[in-house]
């Protein structure tokens, strides 16, 4: 898949409800994975049933992503809870975008291999816009 830009929406514990609503309204079925399923938190943690990552493929060109904001991820701010997510398998293009867009910004996570197998990084650019870059099948 060439590089694509997808909105990533963050919610304060109601990501599942929001995406089920959006899916019904847009005629698509949401897919979810919880923090517990990814073993990102202990099974008895209240965040275990919260959404770590969800997707809603409306058309081939329109895909939304979602997660709940849980303790340790920062503050949930309605109205500013959208992150731009660059995704694909074109490693050169996506690495370049990460490096150039993050200049003068703040790195939240360096671009490196993650537990799900892809190379991923996150940053806030110098204008305050939050970005994620995910490279499918990339070498670290």
Yes or no: say if 36 and 25 are a contact pair by the CB < 8 Å rule: no
Q: Answer whether residue 135 shows pLDDT above 70.
A: yes
Q: Would you state the structure tokens that stand for residue 45, as one six-digit string?
A: 């943690």
Yes or no: say if 114 and 120 are a contact pair by the CB < 8 Å rule: yes
Alpha helices in 30-111 (DSSP H): 91-101
pLDDT digits (tens, 9 = 90+) for 96-129: 999 998 999 999 999 999 988 999 999 988 877 7
| 75 vs 99 pLDDT, higher one | 99
Mean pLDDT of 92-96: 90
Question: 44, exposed or middle or buried, with CB in 10 Å at 0-12, 13-18, 19+?
Answer: exposed
User: In this structure, are 44 and 104 located in the same domain?
Assistant: no
User: In this structure, are 106 and 133 located in the same domain?
Assistant: yes
* pLDDT value at residue 140: 53
In the chain, pLDDT over 70 holds for what percent of residues? Answer: 94
In the chain, pLDDT over 90 holds for what percent of residues? Answer: 36
* pLDDT value at residue 112: 96
- Going by C-alpha positions, the residue among 11, 84, 20, 81 that lies closest to residue 56 is 20
* pLDDT value at residue 120: 96
Q: Which domain, by its residues, includes 137?
A: 89-140
138 falls in which pLDDT band (50, 70, 90)?
A: low
User: In this structure, are 59 and 116 located in the same domain?
Assistant: no
User: In this structure, are 78 and 94 located in the same domain?
Assistant: no
Backbone angles phi, psi at 17, to 5 degrees: -60, -45
pLDDT digits (tens, 9 = 90+) for 42-68: 999 988 999 999 999 987 777 888 888
* Residue 28 neighbours by CB distance under 10 Å: 18
* pLDDT value at residue 125: 85
User: In this structure, are 76 and 93 located in the same domain?
Assistant: no
Number of independent structural domains in the chain? 2
Q: Would you state the structure tokens that stand for residue 76, as one six-digit string?
A: 């949930």
């Amino acid at each position: 898949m060439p590089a694509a830009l997808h909105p990533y929406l963050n919610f304060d514990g109601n990501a599942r409800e929001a995406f089920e609503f959006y899916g019904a309204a847009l005629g698509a079925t949401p897919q979810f994975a919880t923090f517990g399923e990814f073993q990102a938190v202990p099974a008895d943690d209240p965040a275990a049933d919260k959404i770590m990552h969800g997707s809603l493929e409306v058309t081939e060109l329109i895909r939304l992503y979602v997660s709940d904001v849980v303790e340790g991820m920062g503050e949930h701010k309605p109205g500013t809870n959208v992150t731009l997510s660059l995704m694909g398998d074109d490693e050169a293009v996506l690495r370049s975008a990460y490096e150039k867009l993050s200049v003068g910004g703040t790195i939240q996570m360096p671009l490196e291999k993650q537990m799900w197998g892809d190379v991923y990084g996150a940053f806030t650019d110098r204008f305050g816009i939050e970005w994620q870059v995910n490279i499918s099948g990339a070498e670290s």
